[in-house]
Amino acid sequence: MKSNQEELQALVPDTRLAGKTALVTGSTSGIGEAIARVLAASGAEVVVSGRSADRADAVVRAITEVGGRAHAVVGDLGGSASEVRRIASAAEAALGGRVDVLVNNAGIYPVGPTADLTDADLDAVLATNIRAPHVLVASLAPAMAERGSGSIVNIGSWMARVGVPFGAAYTASKAALEQMTRTWSAEFGPRGVGVTTVAPGATSTPGNAESADVLAAMTAGTVAGRPVRPIDIAFAVRWLVSGEAAFVHGSTIDVDGGIAAVRLG
């Protein structure tokens, strides 16, 4: 099994998304970076967005050095609603005035006991994981609907539908995102906008590298027997925003190695 980095380096360019533009939030590393690079490898022009200019520029270079098209838009989705709208406008401007694909990937995940979650952390979860996607969709989906085409993919979590003894705010935020997917599909889908969720399982990213042993233990009993790679999520997103998924509306696609649905023993 190739590593995530090996898979990213081995991407073969194609044209299945040629002519499309995409904003991927939280795409300076991990799952978001993989999504941005996979979409770009398939011909989409991509905005890489995150809080770090250096990391955003590094992902843009990784895309452009192999012939892709990408731009960096730096901002904090956990900030004010006006800041989120600024990010949407900057992405539109960088992409020539049109965003065809919005991937709401950015999220924060404090997962400690309920009594230990600070007020500041709770506010940050609600702002980044719920308010920011809502504001971005409000800013960008109406234009998609007016054009009669577009795709919104929300990145959820397997934990949204499984009770665990920690992380109530985080898991609730991902459950809320799944419900917003269904509502947005009903609202914008009849006018040509596909809205879906991809729910990753326990995923190995640079941000949780110190928990590799925990992730290995969590996934040892799954069908896949290993943690999800970011690129596994990216491949699902690419399919959902392609014409091949035209009849997928309001659905949550689990890309989790079977952790939420299957028990082997």
Residues 121-128: what's their mean pLDDT?
97
According to the model, what pLDDT value does residue 218 have?
87
Three-state DSSP at 178 gives helix
Top pLDDT among 67 and 264 is at 67
Three-state DSSP at 232 gives helix
Q: 16-254 has which fold?
A: Rossmann fold (3.40.50)
Residues 193-200: what's their mean pLDDT?
98
pLDDT per residue as tens digits for the range 143-195:
999 999 999 999 999 999 999 899 999 999 999 999 999 999 999 999 999 99
The residue among 160, 158, 103 whose CA lies nearest residue 133 is 103
CA distances in angstroms from 35 to 46, 123, 188, 203, 254, listed in the order given: 10, 27, 23, 14, 16
According to the model, what pLDDT value does residue 207 have?
81
Catalytic residue among 158, 170, 184, 188: 170
Instruction: Quote the CA–CA distance of 250 and 255 in Å, as a whole number.
Output: 16
pLDDT band of residue 1 (cuts 50, 70, 90) is confident
pTM: 0.97
Q: Is 170 a catalytic residue?
A: yes
Three-state DSSP at 50 gives strand
For residue 219 the two structure tokens come to: 């996934």
pLDDT band of residue 229 (cuts 50, 70, 90) is very high
Residue 265 has pLDDT above 80, yes or no: no
Residue 200 has pLDDT above 80, yes or no: yes
